[in-house]
Structure 1
């Protein structure tokens, strides 16, 4: 099979190779997928660049997310069959066969049925962003049903799915964005209210729109903590998925507001927490509650350019199409 690999961390153009590998065989509890679309997340380029502790075991086929078709099933696998369309999550975690190849092998639990009406592009957009959003929202629809949610960075990948999952659960959603273009994206995702964070007195604007906020999904806690505390209702929760190099906290407002501050990293979640996030995502997907981000596609041979596009901050989803030349 053709695959994109890197053998050491470094700049994309220097370390990526397109190689021929033997098609891997699924072991017990695993499935093999013929990949249609491979989604790229910031965690993928950061790992390849050496910004995390993970290093290749000989070689690494990158990318956690994607959509494909079950090609072979190992022993002890139930609920999946050859020919079934699926989406993936965390495919490259502790596994050298990620989704940036014509075939991928991964634990069957990380291949989730993709409804007939959902495109491969949509399937490749889910994974890390949607599951992170679901956990930041409390892990199940009941956590935010009838509540008010503030999504910071509502045009980003996690922000997009935080809006859609919160609306699926019956929450009222206000999002902050940095431009009119991103305002349009957040409104299209279903946000009830969208506020430019550059507007004067943003906290009062949010308060006028929704009153107190029960939960914040936060992309930039260092920059936004003062705003979050200003709009958070007593007993509220701030869930952040950002790896800030330094975060200073105002202990008084946090304590007086009985605030819960939650840090979320998908890799460290327990199996039952991941399963809960997958269920919510799948349920929303089944009723048409989730949509694809703006997608730009590259053939496998242009994996370095695709990584550079993500690293440059493309608003939407960059994907590889392993079957394209």
Structure 2
């Protein structure tokens, strides 16, 4: 379980991603009425404790040295610039490898992936970073398997995320894995972000980061979530949107970053998670209620997305 988190920083730190790590793992939310959300021990560590200069010209205090990282079961590396083997501070590679060897998870936010690459920890692993830098990451670390189009990659012990808000997506993913969908949703609500975003950073590559036009599909998406048990194929949804199926599918993907099928499947899995956690209904009933039709189809999609069967998920996370 997630009990002890250390974030490792040094000069050149990007403050936004550091703040995202603090927000995701460093807050005690019990005063907000969320007594069920665990509070991991959280430490800010640096090769040279004290003032750490940020890329914005101000400094952040790091009270701990790298020895504190040995206690962590999650090690977070925020965006630290394009770290290379030559620029990685002394001692960082060693503590990252020590954490990996003892089974700790490593989470990078945005260009923090370059630190893992500089340490040699990305070799043979799928990974990502901000879309502007994926080519450079692949060029510097040819043994890594860089995936440019995703918001984050979970490669087991190593989780890498794309730019800015994708770090929160990856952090919520870790909370969801450790404590279930209900806890992750409560944390997301406190941060005023979606508990699970669909699509990927490919939607941002050819145009600057622009919010989807929610006026087009906002009411339809709400209707879909309320009617997951219905037949939700493209022709049906296109008719509701007064579009041809081809135009609907094209615009839906352009504005949400996912195909209609992928978006709906993601919502059905989320709803199945909630029902598995909060009810004692049979898997067959949940499959029908969420639109999967039968237990086998639910099991297929659920296991592919969550890495657990519905039964195993319920056993681990049932309230």
Using structure 2 for the length normalisation, give the TM-score: 0.31
Higher relative contact order, chain-length normalized (CA < 8 Å, sep 6+): 1
More strand by share: 1
Using structure 1 for the length normalisation, give the TM-score: 0.31
